[in-house]
């Protein structure tokens, strides 16, 4: 077989015939074929998947043998049949969600998912944890690290484990970009914003607006960081206005040459 023509593997997911390349993750194949599998710790923004929530479990049957796998990191190696809603999966997923709801009792997202998958009544004997919305999926830390910011990390251990800035102090490294809050699946990371400032992780950031059109460009620290990385001056106008100015200049040059 030509190297350019990669082998296609047939996968039957909930009765739907799907095709994929060897090694593709099962969750991605399902998603591409509009088959819903719930996820929490999986973000398409990253190639490296943490696979810690286990809400994406599905049942895979290969050559008569069945097993439960974590679909977001399960590479398909051969033809198989997949059940995303079998009785076994529904039961196991309900347990996973009930435990996550116990860990994050204040998260409406987690609570709603847990209710939708069977509720938490059977887990009433678990010792209540401190109120919170975090399931410790680590996506926020991954987002921060991927930008090279490193403002937050997981601290402490066991039931004390949480995401925080160093010593819970306002982090000098933070640029107020909101990547952590935007990627968080549970609504744990909060921020406040008014016309002039944004506050997150106990730090206040000045907001900068485009001098041409008035659009929000980000925090002062975000723009300074981007300028330092690209070796250009801190911009005063947004990308759209900069491109428009360049296009106008080209038109002008062309017309009068």
Residues of this chain that bind ligand FES (CB under 6 A): 39-42, 51-56, 70, 72
For residues 210 and 243, the answer to whether their CB atoms sit within 8 Å is no
Q: Applying CB under 6 A, which part among 2-10, 60-68, 81-89, 130-138 lies near ligand SF4?
A: 130-138
Q: Closest distance between ligand FES and the C-beta of residue 215, in Å?
A: 34
Tokens of residue 157, six digits = 């251990």
Q: What is the CA radius of gyration of the chain?
A: 24
Q: Measuring CA to CA, how many Å separate 256 from each of 217, 251, 252? A: 33, 9, 6
Pick the binder of ligand SF4 from 94, 135, 174, 238 (CB under 6 A): 135
Count CA atoms closer than 13 A to 81's CA, side-chain side: 9
**71 near ligand SF4, rule: CB under 6 A:** no
Q: Which is nearer to ligand SF4, 80 or 140 (CB)?
A: 140
Q: Does residue 138 belong to the site contacting ligand SF4 (CB under 6 A)?
A: yes
Shortest distance, position 141 Cβ to ligand FES, whole Å: 15
Minimal distance, residue 39 CB to ligand SF4, in Å: 12
Of the candidates 199, 172, 53, the one whose C-alpha atom is nearest the C-alpha of residue 117 is 53
The rounded distance, in Å, linking the Cα atoms of 249 and 78 is 57
Least distance from C-beta 191 to ligand FES, angstroms? 24
The answer to whether residue 186 forms part of the interface with ligand SF4 (CB under 6 A) is: yes
Q: Of 53 and 208, which CB lies nearer to ligand SF4 in the complex structure?
A: 53
Q: Cβ atoms within 10 A of the Cβ of 108, count?
A: 11
56 binds, among ligand SF4, ligand FES, none (CB under 5 to 8 A by kind): ligand FES
Query: Closest approach of Cβ 143 to ligand SF4, in Å?
Result: 8
Give how many residues touch ligand SF4 by CB under 6 A: 13
Q: Using CB under 6 A, pick the residue from 24, 59, 188, 221 that binds ligand SF4.
A: 188
Of 53, 91, 57, nearest to 74 by C-alpha is 57
| Residue number with CB closer to ligand FES (46 or 209) | 46
> 97 or 144: whose CB is closer to ligand FES?
97
Q: Is 134 in the site for ligand SF4 (CB under 6 A)?
A: yes
Q: Which residues contact 15 (CB under 8 A, 6 or more apart)?
A: none
Cα separation of 28 and 100, whole Å?
A: 23
Output 85 or 197, the one with its CB closest to ligand FES.
85
Q: Under the criterion CB under 6 A, does residue 136 sit at the interface with ligand SF4?
A: yes
Phi then psi for residue 50, to 5 deg, are -80, -30
| Contacting residue, 29, 60, 137, 238, with ligand SF4 by CB under 6 A | 137
Specify the long-range contacts of residues 94-102, CB closer than 8 Å, at least 24 apart.
Answer: 94/118, 94/119, 96/53, 96/54, 96/55, 96/57, 97/55, 98/122, 98/123, 99/123, 100/40, 100/53, 100/55, 100/135, 102/126, 102/128, 102/129
**Interacting residues with ligand SF4 (CB under 6 A):** 134-140, 163, 183-184, 186, 188-189
């Amino acid at each position: 077989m030509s190297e350019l023509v990669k082998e296609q593997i047939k996968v039957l997911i909930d009765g739907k015939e799907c095709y994929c390349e060897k090694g593709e993750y099962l969750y991605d194949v399902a998603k591409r074929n509009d088959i819903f599998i719930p996820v929490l710790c999986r973000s398409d923004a990253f190639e490296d998947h943490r696979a810690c929530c286990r809400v994406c479990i599905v049942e895979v049957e290969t050559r008569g043998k069945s097993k439960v796998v974590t679909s977001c990191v399960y590479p398909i190696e051969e033809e198989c049949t997949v059940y995303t809603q079998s009785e076994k999966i529904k039961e196991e997923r309900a347990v996973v969600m009930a435990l996550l709801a116990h860990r994050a009792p204040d998260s409406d997202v987690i609570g709603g998912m847990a209710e939708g998958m069977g509720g938490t009544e059977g887990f009433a004997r678990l010792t209540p944890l401190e109120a919170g919305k975090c399931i410790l999926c680590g996506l926020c830390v991954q987002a921060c690290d991927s930008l090279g910011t490193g403002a937050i990390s997981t601290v402490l251990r066991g039931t004390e484990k949480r995401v925080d800035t160093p010593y819970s102090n306002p982090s000098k490294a933070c640029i107020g970009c909101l990547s952590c809050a935007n990627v968080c699946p549970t609504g744990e990371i909060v921020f406040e914003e008014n016309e002039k400032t944004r506050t997150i992780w106990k730090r206040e950031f000045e907001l900068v607006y485009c001098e041409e059109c008035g659009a929000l460009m980000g925090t002062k620290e975000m723009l300074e960081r981007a300028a330092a990385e690209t070796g250009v001056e801190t911009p005063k106008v947004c990308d759209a206005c900069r491109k428009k100015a360049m296009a106008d200049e080209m038109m002008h040059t062309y017309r009068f040459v």
